[in-house]
Amino acid sequence: MLIINGIESEQAILSALSSVSSNADTAAEEATELAKHFHGNEIWFGDSTTPDPGVHEATVGSLTTFQVDSGDNAWGTAIQILGTSDTPVGSGMTKYDLHKILVTTTERTSVISYMRITFGTSEAQGILDGNSTMIALFPTATIRMNAVPFMAKRAPAGSKAWANAKVAGDTGTINFIFGLHEYLV
């Protein structure tokens, strides 16, 4: 009988193979999710012209922008940008992630500005739970921005999303629309 690290050889080999198989399954799942992200549908939302607070805040394909207002070198009051009925858009989708923002106008130019996107029952709860992401902007006088990609965690379909802004040196508004991906798992 052969002993490897204090374990009989047959048992050691089976244990090693089980670990390799588990790692391969995990890698395959991650590859599938990455493929869905890069080859899935992109859905763009603007502000709803007929909102139902907390439930319906955004409309697919809307040309109406959301507007956040910064405090003076401080985070401004958050606005809700997704309600509980705004996702899923696709049948059977269970998760989404916001991934792009298109800034259309800003009150201040040539200053560093931040936008924060938060997911949860409220902005405060989302921040507390670590479910927020930040986007750095430096708008110019002509704006001429392309959609800005950013990273965010996947959120369960039906989760609320919030946005607010912080502008260097003064208060200031930022108008925008956003894009997201949806997932089956």
Q: Is the peptide bond prior to 139 cis by the omega test (within 30 degrees of 0)?
A: no
CATH label, 41-183, candidates 2.40.50, 1.10.10, 2.60.120, 1.10.357: 2.60.120
Residue 57's pLDDT band (cuts 50, 70, 90):
very high
pTM assigned to the model: 0.81
| pLDDT in the model for residue 27 | 73
Secondary structure element (H or E) that encloses residue 101, with its range:
strand 95-106
Q: Which tens digits make up the pLDDT trace of 141-153?
A: 776 678 999 999 9
Domain boundary assignment for the chain: 3-36, 41-183
